[in-house]
Amino acid sequence: MNDQLDPARAAAAAEAAPTPSDLANALRALAMDAVEKAKSGHPGLPMGAADVATVLFTKVLKYDAADPAWPDRDRFVFSAGHGSMLLYALLHLTGVEGMTIEELKNFRQLHSKTPGHPENFVTPGVETTTGPLGQGIATAVGMALAERMLAAEYGEEIVDHHTFVLASDGDLMEGISHEAIAFAGNLRLSKLVVLWDDNGISIDGPLSLSDTTDQRKRFEACGWTTMRVDGHDQAAIARALARARKSDRPTLIACKTTIGFGAPTRAGTSKAHGEPLGAEELAGAKKALGWGHAPFEIPASIKKAWEKAGRKGRSARKAWEQRFQALPAETRAELERRLAGIPPQALVEAIAAHKRALVESPAAVATRKAGEAVLEAIAPAVPELVAGSADLTPSNNVKVKTSVPVKPGDFAGRYVHYGIREHGMAAAMNGIALHGGFRPAGATFLVFTDYARPAMRIAALAGVPAIYVMTHDSIGLGEDGPTHQPVEHLAALRAMPNMRVFRPGDAVETAECWQLALERTDGPSVLALTRQNLAPARTTHSETNLCETGAYELSPAKGAAAKATIFASGSEVEIALAAQALLAERGIPSRVVSTPSLDLFLAQPEEVRARILGDAPIRAAIEAGVRFGWDAVIGSDGVFVGMESFGASAPYKQLYEHFGITAAALADKIAARHNG
């Protein structure tokens, strides 16, 4: 490197013709300056990985800064989100609209386009929200899979791009990385390339404190090609990337770097990781790098060279646009719709027809089974649906008869066997959705949302419309016992902003909730479905989707004004109806409000909520889960029947008796309140 250069000479040289090192140093300087100004942030990674990023953006990435979201671009996933300033510097220097130098000066400030960690919904050119380590690499796997699936459908003339990841030691230490790399290796996602910023340093100090994994061997064991390069030798990095692009497997490039490269005392130490360098160290670093410019100042020749890199993919984009325009009109319109994430017109009629058929021949059915029937009915109308399961295919009922699994190297199928990798599945689903062209629906048992939750949270935060089909949704699963019986999960999921939780009470509601989940474009949905059969609650056809307000009056009070309103979700709807009958026998009129989505109900306008809440003096709720959250409807003095402990292992009917989740118990409680 040019660490001996006199700043004045370096500046003059940079004006003449910037070297690759000058380009990398511009990234370093901007990261140092922005972190310094913000008085917080992570300079070490941008300084260490600047050469790797420079090679990727100037020589390899199919990228056009004028349209950083064009469909056939290479994806660059910045997994080590804490080093966000490197990404912001790249977006600024290459000329992404809106990524001004002012934005860099506002790093980490309110309403800036440069938040602490990259957020795809804030910053143009950011592919996915990262920061929780491991999420980015696992999301990228989903993107790489989506690329292959879309290419299998539309051909490589239209879909043919790579997915590159910058990952840190922390990304690779996180357990999710293992799920992700094993999944990608098995499927032979050969257009996935992970650049590992192998600096041997994390927050606590040298990695040897906590990890001695041979990462190359680990990746190789998972079916990857691996290479090792000096992460400050740009020519070597370029050669490795060229080789990676030819591999028939996903590739890991271990880039040996120095964290805080250039910082006189902090380089190579954890002190460079996550705090401003301070004036003296910063000045020393700039001197060592031969960077003689004022804070945030980039010499015109260097900016120009970066802008040229930003145009590198323009001709590829223009050529792609021509090929895209040359597609038959119908094909093009359909792909446009899918890339825009717009639900198909045909969905509404498919759901309506299915609902009519259900009402015509009512049957007691588990909602997981009802869900399968919905998928059978809508599959032709929703070609973008990619269902899958974390190795519970026979239990989750999300595989329709005609669907074919995706297999290693064969991406024509639309069913994904994710393996026993709930977290990896949820992250891959984020990638599939963010890539565009597909709607992922992944399944496991509701209790295992705990295993998937960090990626589900990213979906909620980043507005990813993933659908989680979570079966075995309560003690109603029976004999598998408390390890498998969710108790607090509905409440926990409802607590997550922008997560929609549906718990339909019969086959018709299952169809309606599926429709609402598929029509969501700005966030994820959980469908909590039963293992046990449920009696039909909806016996007459309604063209309207009654679940769309989250709750609705299913069974009005008969004869007189209701003395009680009973709110119930899922499998407890039929118990609520039975309790209503018992109360009627005792001369206490009541109404039942089915509540397939408590959170959607609470999000309704005041007047809608008031109408559905009604004015009966007693409010009660029944759900085979904890009370947490229900007080928003029934009040802290409301009557609640549900779970107060973990479940138990027994046939499910005995469990409902044992835990007092019965019509008699509910009717008794309401009657006691009424009479008392």
Ligand X SMILES: Cc1ncc(C[n+]2csc(CCOP(=O)(O)OP(=O)(O)O)c2C)c(N)n1
Instruction: Tell me the residue nearest to ligand X as measured from the CB.
Output: 170
Spatial CA neighbour of 33 closest among 294, 327, 310, 259? 294
CB of 203 or CB of 404, closer to ligand X: 203
Residue 202 interacts with ligand X (CB under 6 A): yes or no: yes
Residue 390 interacts with ligand X (CB under 6 A): yes or no: no
- The piece of 26-34, 125-133, 302-310, 668-676 that touches ligand X (CB under 6 A) is 125-133
CB of 203 or CB of 603, closer to ligand X: 203
CB of 259 or CB of 618, closer to ligand X: 259
Residues 618-630: b if buried by 16+ CB within 10 A, e if exposed:
bbbbbbbbbbebb
- The piece of 196-204, 284-292, 424-432, 613-621 that touches ligand X (CB under 6 A) is 196-204
CB of 90 or CB of 446, closer to ligand X: 90
Provide the minimum distance between the beta carbon of 457 and ligand X in the complex, in angstroms, as a whole number.
11
Residue 527 interacts with ligand X (CB under 6 A): yes or no: no
- The piece of 194-202, 219-227, 339-347, 376-384 that touches ligand X (CB under 6 A) is 194-202
Provide the minimum distance between the beta carbon of 617 and ligand X in the complex, in angstroms, as a whole number.
48
In whole angstroms, what is the distance from residue 535 CA to residue 507 CA? 9
CB of 168 or CB of 485, closer to ligand X: 168
Residue 201 interacts with ligand X (CB under 6 A): yes or no: yes
Name the packing angle between helices 300-310 and 7-16 (round to 10°): 50
Residues 6 or more apart whose Cβ sits within 8 Å of residue 94 = 57, 63, 65, 306, 307, 309, 310
Provide the minimum distance between the beta carbon of 486 and ligand X in the complex, in angstroms, as a whole number.
24
In whole angstroms, what is the distance from residue 418 CA to residue 424 CA? 8
Distances (CA, A) of 108 to 53, 112, 259, 400, 653: 21, 7, 21, 46, 54
Residues 6 or more apart whose Cβ sits within 8 Å of residue 36 = 43, 276, 277, 278, 279, 282, 295
Residues 295-331: b if buried by 16+ CB within 10 A, e if exposed:
eeebbeebbebbeebbebbeebbeebeeebeebeeee
- The piece of 168-176, 216-224, 286-294, 434-442 that touches ligand X (CB under 6 A) is 168-176
What tokens appear for 372 in the block? 């399968």
Provide the minimum distance between the beta carbon of 75 and ligand X in the complex, in angstroms, as a whole number.
21
Residue 232 interacts with ligand X (CB under 6 A): yes or no: no
- The piece of 10-18, 129-137, 398-406, 655-663 that touches ligand X (CB under 6 A) is 129-137
In whole angstroms, what is the distance from residue 320 CA to residue 207 CA? 44
Provide the minimum distance between the beta carbon of 212 and ligand X in the complex, in angstroms, as a whole number.
14
Residues 6 or more apart whose Cβ sits within 8 Å of residue 158 = 72, 150, 151, 320, 323, 324, 327, 335
Residue 371 interacts with ligand X (CB under 6 A): yes or no: no
Residue 655 interacts with ligand X (CB under 6 A): yes or no: no
With beta carbons less than 8 A apart as the criterion, state whether 93 and 303 touch.
yes
Residue 131 interacts with ligand X (CB under 6 A): yes or no: yes
Active site residue 102: no
What tokens appear for 485 in the block? 């019986």
Residue 199 interacts with ligand X (CB under 6 A): yes or no: yes
Provide the minimum distance between the beta carbon of 274 and ligand X in the complex, in angstroms, as a whole number.
7
Q: How far apart are the first and last CA of the chain?
A: 84
Provide the minimum distance between the beta carbon of 242 and ligand X in the complex, in angstroms, as a whole number.
25
Provide the minimum distance between the beta carbon of 51 and ligand X in the complex, in angstroms, as a whole number.
14
Residue 427 interacts with ligand X (CB under 6 A): yes or no: no
Residues 335-351: b if buried by 16+ CB within 10 A, e if exposed:
beebbebebbeebeebb
CB of 42 or CB of 457, closer to ligand X: 42
Instruction: Give residue for tokens 């790579």.
Output: 162
Provide the minimum distance between the beta carbon of 449 and ligand X in the complex, in angstroms, as a whole number.
17
Burial class of residue 33 in the structure, from the number of CB atoms within 10 Å of its CB (0-12 exposed, 13-18 middle, 19+ buried) = buried
CB of 116 or CB of 290, closer to ligand X: 116
CB of 78 or CB of 552, closer to ligand X: 78
- The piece of 90-98, 106-114, 178-186, 199-207 that touches ligand X (CB under 6 A) is 199-207
With beta carbons less than 8 A apart as the criterion, state whether 527 and 502 touch.
yes
Residue type, 410: D
Provide the minimum distance between the beta carbon of 35 and ligand X in the complex, in angstroms, as a whole number.
12
Please give the helix or strand (H or E) that residue 634 lies within, else none.
Answer: helix 631-634
Provide the minimum distance between the beta carbon of 207 and ligand X in the complex, in angstroms, as a whole number.
7
Among 79, 84, 112, 168, interactor with ligand X by CB under 6 A? 168
CB of 24 or CB of 568, closer to ligand X: 24
Residue 133 interacts with ligand X (CB under 6 A): yes or no: yes
Residue 562 interacts with ligand X (CB under 6 A): yes or no: no
CB of 131 or CB of 505, closer to ligand X: 131
* Catalytic annotation, pick one of 103, 127, 147, 422: 422
In whole angstroms, what is the distance from residue 7 CA to residue 470 CA? 60
In whole angstroms, what is the distance from residue 296 CA to residue 84 CA? 16
CB of 179 or CB of 197, closer to ligand X: 197
Site string for ligand X, 41-60 (x = CB under 6 A): -x-xx---------------
Residue 581 interacts with ligand X (CB under 6 A): yes or no: no
Phi, psi of 47 (to 5 degrees): -70, -35
Distances (CA, A) of 652 to 34, 156, 478: 59, 51, 4
Residue 231 interacts with ligand X (CB under 6 A): yes or no: no
Rg (the chain; Cα; Å):
28
CB of 258 or CB of 595, closer to ligand X: 258
Q: Compute how many other C-beta atoms are within 10 angstroms of the C-beta atom of residue 97.
A: 12
Residue 273 interacts with ligand X (CB under 6 A): yes or no: yes
- The piece of 78-86, 382-390, 550-558, 667-675 that touches ligand X (CB under 6 A) is 78-86
Spatial CA neighbour of 503 closest among 454, 446, 556? 446
**Beta strands 201-202; 205-206: pairing state:** antiparallel
- The piece of 14-22, 51-59, 193-201, 290-298 that touches ligand X (CB under 6 A) is 193-201
With beta carbons less than 8 A apart as the criterion, state whether 447 and 483 touch.
yes
Task: Give the number of residues in contact with ligand X, rule: CB under 6 A.
Answer: 20
CB of 130 or CB of 571, closer to ligand X: 130
Residue 170 interacts with ligand X (CB under 6 A): yes or no: yes
Provide the minimum distance between the beta carbon of 460 and ligand X in the complex, in angstroms, as a whole number.
16
Spatial CA neighbour of 418 closest among 222, 187, 221? 187
Site string for ligand X, 233-272 (x = CB under 6 A): --------------------------x-------------
Among 51, 169, 506, 509, interactor with ligand X by CB under 6 A? 169
- The piece of 29-37, 162-170, 209-217, 284-292 that touches ligand X (CB under 6 A) is 162-170
Binding site for ligand X (CB under 6 A): 42, 44-45, 80, 82-83, 131-133, 168-170, 174, 197, 199, 201-203, 259, 273
Report, as residue numbers or ranges, the catalytic residues.
422
